[in-house]
Amino acid sequence: MPYKTFVVILSLFVLTLSIDPVSVSAHSGAKGIVKERMELMKDIGKAMKILGAMARGKVPLDNAKVKAAADSIARHGQKIPALFPKGSTKGVTEAGPRIWKDPEGFQKSTNEMVDAARNITEQSENAAALKPAYRRLGKTCSACHKLYRVKKKKMEYPR
């Protein structure tokens, strides 16, 4: 096999492995407000990755990036409850039925996330405070997901 062909095949194989089949399938077919909220959650996830990398010391602390990511999460968080109107359970969604059974709890959960994100914004120049503030923010996300999100099924691959 020629070297160039081998490199192309290897590159395609690596690219295939890097695609997350769960997230691809979760968002495919989503429409309207469901797609809008999935995109918003994806944006929050991107901002969390930026904060996490700095909180863990994997990348240098950049106060402007910390503030921008935390501000983005707080702004998006304020929009979350409106993106879950009654009846928006049709089609592809990861939203659990408890959102509509316990709207006050869901609102409280999103408010906690917004408050935690604002706390990071207020302390964006305090490197020592970033890690615990990031953990607090992460706990608000995971607590909400545990209560209000349908658990993702793990993909099994043939061996």
User: pLDDT digits over 105-133, tens only?
Assistant: 999 999 999 999 999 998 888 888 999 99
For the entire predicted model, the pTM comes to 0.76
- Both tokens of 115, joined, read 């408050």
Where the chain has pLDDT below 50, the residues are 3-26, 155-157, 159
Q: Looking at the domain assignment, is residue 158 inside a domain?
A: no
CATH number at residue 120: 1.20.120.10
Split into its structural domains, the chain has a count of 1
Give me the helices (H) in 28-150, please. 32-55, 63-79, 98-101, 103-122, 127-148
- Both tokens of 112, joined, read 């906690």
Q: Looking at the domain assignment, is residue 154 inside a domain?
A: no
Q: What is the pLDDT of residue 119?
A: 95
Q: What is the pLDDT of residue 26?
A: 47
Q: What is the pLDDT of residue 29?
A: 67
Q: Domain span at residue 102?
A: 22-148
Residues contacting residue 47 through CB under 8 Å, at least 6 positions apart: 69, 70, 72, 73, 76
Q: Looking at the domain assignment, is residue 15 inside a domain?
A: no
Q: What is the pLDDT of residue 91?
A: 76
Q: Looking at the domain assignment, is residue 34 inside a domain?
A: yes
